[in-house]
Amino acid sequence: MPTVISHPLVQHHLTRLRDGDTAPTEFRARLRALGRLLTYEAIRAVPTQQRTIDTPLEAMDAPHLSQRFTVVPILRAGLALADGALDMLPDAVVGHVGLARNETTLEPETYYENLPATVADTHVLLVDPMLATGGSAVAAATLLKKHGVTRMTLVAVLGAPEGVGAFEGTHADVPVVLGGLDRELSDKGYILPGLGDAGDRAFGTLG
């Protein structure tokens, strides 16, 4: 089962994304804010290790993150969400996967792949605003595993039961963190009630 974040700030940002009157500038800013908040939750269970540091007054053993991270947005809508993740993890490296949905078959088609050589040695945050049919997320996670990734978390703003089921049915070992879980998909594969096409709304390409 996915982890759905019920924090009031997450829900407030999500409501503004849902509002059809929200302009692209605000839409991108809200996605970035959700990227920060969802990343905070996504790495909650990541282990830390102690190391000795010198404060201005004395030495102490202090915790630090014991894993390196790679943020991988699914292009293009995942870019704004990735910016928020990088705000929280500024030392992370970034990979990119381009997957476009064929509007007839609803299946993902890969058009771009650029991953760091170190990706298999890191914890990957796979980020995409929408987990609708699940096709793109399944394909991206499969691609990452082919590159040797064994630690991965999927972070999405909004999901549908169909997409969650498809992803967990294929990648049951990958945790899923969502800002919201909606009712269902439309016959065209859009989340209902949803927020429309996240990429078009973020980058002002509607119509």
Residue 55 inside a domain? The answer is no
- Whether 101 is catalytic is yes
Check 3, 16, 22, 197 and give the catalytic one.
197
Q: Render pLDDT for 4-23 as a digit per residue (tens, 0 to 9).
A: 999 999 999 999 999 999 99
Residue 82 inside a domain? The answer is yes
Evaluate whether 130 touches 156 at the Cβ level (below 8 Å): yes
Query: Within 10 A of 189 (CB to CB), how many other CB atoms are there?
Result: 16
- Whether 153 is catalytic is no
Residue 60 inside a domain? The answer is no
Check 48, 105, 150, 205 and give the catalytic one.
105
- Whether 118 is catalytic is no
Domain count, the chain: 1
Range of the domain at 170: 3-46+67-203
Residue 189 inside a domain? The answer is yes
Residue 202 in tokens: 């973020």
What lies within 8 Å, CB to CB, of 181 at 6+ separation is 2, 4, 158, 159, 160, 161, 164
Residue 61 inside a domain? The answer is no
Residue 151 inside a domain? The answer is yes
Q: Render pLDDT for 154-205 as a digit per residue (tens, 0 to 9).
A: 999 999 999 999 999 999 999 999 999 999 999 988 999 999 999 999 999 8
Q: Averaged over 24-44, what is the pLDDT?
A: 96
Residue 62 inside a domain? The answer is no
Q: Render pLDDT for 40-69 as a digit per residue (tens, 0 to 9).
A: 999 999 999 999 999 999 999 999 998 999
- Whether 15 is catalytic is no
Residue 73 inside a domain? The answer is yes
**In this predicted structure, what is the pLDDT of residue 110?**
84
Of 141, 138, 127, 119, the residue nearest 67 (C-alpha):
119
Residue in the block written with tokens 């990119």: 96
- pTM here? 0.93
Query: Within 10 A of 132 (CB to CB), how many other CB atoms are there?
Result: 28
CATH number of the domain bearing residue 77: 3.40.50.2020
Check 18, 68, 101, 121 and give the catalytic one.
101
